[in-house]
Amino acid sequence: MILQLFVDEAVIALPWVQKIQQRFPNITPVVVSGFAPVQAMVAEKKDPVSEGKQVLFLTANRGSFFKKCPGTKSYLCCGYQILHIGTYCTMDCSYCILQAYFAPPVLQGFVNLDDMFDEINRLTSTPCVPFHRIGTGEFTDSLLWEPWTDLSAELVPRFAQQDRVVLELKTKTCNVKNLKGLDHNRKTIVAWSLNAIPVIQHEEKGTARLEARLDAAARCEAWGYPLAFHFDPLFFYEGWEKDYEEVVRRLFTVVSPKNVVWISLGSFRFMPSLKPIIQSRFPESKIVYGEFVRGLDGKMRYFKPLRIALYRNMVRWIRTWAPDVTIYLCMEDEEVWDKSLGFVPEREGGLPGLLDRAAEEHCGIEI
């Protein structure tokens, strides 16, 4: 719940500021000069991470709206590009890397959206532009902002008018009502992060229930949107096999496998600096006490044989229901790929090419 609204004086006259302010009629906005006063106020709180989830700062993105996914050269990256609409999240997942990524984390909404639309138009109107997979869910949740901005109503029709770029909206919410009736031309993929029910209940505070996410996915499929799903992060705990198999079963009893563009798998990994934050903010959570080793990127990861066992089971369960769906691993090396999926992407044109072909099949794009 947003309790405080700050507006950078540099953007006070922009029309999107007025629109967003109207969504908070009971909050008096405070005009500030830059981000520093907001950061300082939040940093003084007992729990800045929680406090930042209740503070919305409207400002401008002074850099490019398009960014490369921050992958690691030691692991295979999918070549995703980020459309940077804002930062942070009102939901409170115990494992969220944003708790340690921003200091302190504060909800920042970028309101110079005409600049963003200009960048999109330049990309999509450039003759012979290379194919792009773009998403808004790297530094925030893609649909978190819908109740405040109706941003999807602006983005989806823009991407519908071309055939070289697909937009992926990834979420843990069920804020999909604004997607109904939009001209999407299957150039927008609506995606959900999924997890086992005990993980959602104990580690994903404030997110939509599994049933609600799947219901939202079914509605989007009925509206003609292609879908995607991300099982990331996956966790080891007593009973994980039964719980994750059940999620896969429930998923494919709700949506058609033929309409799923891709499914990603990734195991829980974290920067060492995140561990004390989780221990302090979520003392009942046990997720940081597994069998971890430091990976090539400096993050703590499950011991490799455990990750392979986890992925092989997930692949087997998914293939039972969806034998032809594209499955890929997020930030894993060639050995894990080979032992989990039976192939190495680099031998088949690379991971970006694998996903590009999946988008070509489901979204009508040209690569």
- Contact criterion met (CB below 8 Å) for 288 and 278: yes
Domain ranges of the chain: 60-363
Residues 6 or more apart in contact with residue 267 via CB below 8 angstroms: 232, 233, 234, 235, 301, 302, 306, 307, 310, 311
Strand-by-strand arrangement of the 269-270 sheet: 269-270, 300-302, 292-294
pLDDT band at 185 (very low <50, low <70, confident <90, very high): very high
Residues 6 or more apart in contact with residue 79 via CB below 8 angstroms: 69, 133, 351, 352, 355
**For the chain, percent of residues with pLDDT exceeding 70:** 97
Mean pLDDT of all residues in 308-333:
97
Q: Is the four-CA dihedral 106, 112, 118, 124 of positive or negative sign?
A: positive
Return mean pLDDT, the chain: 93
**Res 367: pLDDT:** 65
Give CA–CA dist 2/72, Å, rounded: 34
Residue 203 has pLDDT above 70, yes or no: yes
First vs last C-alpha separation in the chain: 42
Give CA–CA dist 125/207, Å, rounded: 37
Cis, peptide link before residue 104, omega less than 30° from 0: yes
**Structural tokens at position 25:** 């009629």
pLDDT band at 269 (very low <50, low <70, confident <90, very high): very high
**Per-residue pLDDT tens for 73-88?**
666 667 778 999 999 9
**Res 149: pLDDT:** 94
pLDDT band at 129 (very low <50, low <70, confident <90, very high): low
**Per-residue pLDDT tens for 28-41?**
999 999 999 999 99
CA angle 41, 21, 86 (to 5 degrees): 65
Residues 6 or more apart in contact with residue 33 via CB below 8 angstroms: 8, 9
Axis crossing angle, helix 240-252 with helix 304-321, rounded to the nearest 10: 30
**Res 41: pLDDT:** 94
- Contact criterion met (CB below 8 Å) for 105 and 139: no
Spell out the CATH class of 60-363: alpha beta
Mean pLDDT of all residues in 181-194:
98
Mean pLDDT of all residues in 95-107:
88
Mean pLDDT of all residues in 134-154:
94
Cβ atoms < 10 Å from Cβ of 13: 8
- Contact criterion met (CB below 8 Å) for 102 and 324: no
**Res 126: pLDDT:** 78
Least confident of 125-134, 223-232, 306-315, 328-337: 125-134
DSSP H helical segments within the chain, as ranges? 15-22, 36-43, 48-52, 98-101, 113-125, 146-149, 152-160, 197-203, 210-222, 240-252, 274-281, 304-321, 334-341, 351-363
Give CA–CA dist 49/90, Å, rounded: 10
Q: How many CA atoms lie within 13 A of 155 on its CB side?
A: 27
pLDDT band at 93 (very low <50, low <70, confident <90, very high): very high
